Amino acid sequence: MKWTPGGVSQNVEDRRGAGGGGGGFRGFGGGGLRLGLGGIIVLVVLSLVFKRNFFQLLDPNAAAGGGAPTAGATRESTPAEDTLVYFVSFVLDSAQSMWAQTVPSMGAEYYSARLVLFRDGVRSACGYAETATGPFYCPGDQKVYIDLGFYQELKDRYGAPGDFAQAYVLAHEIGHHVQTLLGTEQRVRRLQQSRPASGNELSVRMELQADCYAGVWAHAADRQGILDVGDVEEGLNAAAAVGDDRLQRMATGSVNPDNFTHGSSAQRAAWFRRGYSSGRPDACDAFRDPSDR
């Protein structure tokens, strides 16, 4: 990708020095307003109903931009990791800038997700997660969480090297943020509760749509001249590398499609390509057009 380090995005929340997530989200752990379970539920409901991130009211960094690490935290970072922070900041701002222009035409207001960087483990409104969980988006606080060490694993373990493979991962998670803003995530969760037997299939469809949304951003980035030759192939390779069939085969030596939650390698690559080729979010309705079955 063609990019120039431009500092840390104001939407990056650096918890890499937070001692493995022990401090937790400000307002849940130490140092801020403490909430009980009832208060947390109220904020989640308010965030979903009014389509505003009410958890930011508890985050002192939110009003000020939030780019700085927690006061008193010890950060141990290498120059290579610092460069990676600048890179994910660039991708984050690029993707969110595009969606800020696009989502209003889809019937919703866009407001930015925050990207939380952590090591080892982290607390979110969705609970505690360890590095092994991989990158994830939490609709409860509308934040993307990633341990930057995952990118080395993406290259070494999953065979998906390249900076655009890294960008695809983050763009996919921002795709989940778009789904939350549009109400897709909430509708899917309700359907999963009312139709438990369809839970996995609905999850697959939501993940494939997020892959397609990542492709829509890739299309916009290409039109802006950001992509290098071979970047799209890196994205397709990354999408295929984390397909359920491939991961199951790596873990157990066999494949069980009934247990898919994200889609096969072929499906994930196909929906990323669909978004990239069309450049249109309306081409990403994986629920009404499951043409890859």
User: Average pLDDT, stretch 270-293?
Assistant: 89
User: Under a CB-based contact definition with an 8 Å cutoff, are residues 140 and 124 in contact?
Assistant: yes
Residue-wise pLDDT for 117-147, tens only, equals: 999 999 999 999 999 999 999 999 999 999 9
Mean pLDDT of the chain: 84
> Helix, strand or coil for residue 115?
strand
Confidence at residue 291, expressed as pLDDT on a 0 to 100 scale: 64
pLDDT bucket at 290, cuts 50 / 70 / 90: low
Single-letter amino acid code for the residue at 165: A
pLDDT above 90 covers what percent of the chain?
75
Place of tokens 């990708």: 1
What token pair was written down for 162? 């390249």
Q: What are the residues whose beta carbons fall under 8 Å from the beta carbon of 228, sequence distance 6 or more? A: 1, 2, 164
Regarding predicted confidence, which is higher, 17 or 54? 17
- Tell me the backbone φ, ψ of residue 89, rounded to 5 degrees: -65, -45
Place of tokens 């494949």: 255
pLDDT above 70 covers what percent of the chain?
79
Q: Which of 52, 111, 64, 94 is nearest to 220 (CA)?
A: 94
- Tell me the backbone φ, ψ of residue 115, rounded to 5 degrees: -105, 120
pLDDT bucket at 77, cuts 50 / 70 / 90: confident
Q: What is the rounded CA–CA span in Å between residue 135 and residue 293?
A: 26
Could you tell me where the DSSP H helices lie in the chain? 37-50, 60-64, 79-102, 150-156, 163-182, 184-194, 199-223, 231-241, 244-252, 265-278
Confidence at residue 62, expressed as pLDDT on a 0 to 100 scale: 38
Confidence at residue 75, expressed as pLDDT on a 0 to 100 scale: 52
pTM of the predicted model as reported, rounded to 2 decimal places = 0.81
Residue-wise pLDDT for 187-233, tens only, equals: 999 999 999 999 999 999 999 999 999 999 999 999 999 999 999 99
Q: What is the rounded CA–CA span in Å between residue 180 and residue 10?
A: 21
Residue-wise pLDDT for 245-256, tens only, equals: 999 999 999 999
Confidence at residue 288, expressed as pLDDT on a 0 to 100 scale: 86
Q: What is the rounded CA–CA span in Å between residue 48 and residue 120?
A: 29
Q: What are the residues whose beta carbons fall under 8 Å from the beta carbon of 5, sequence distance 6 or more? A: 83, 86, 87, 90
Overall size of the chain counted in residues? 293
Domain ranges of the chain: 12-284
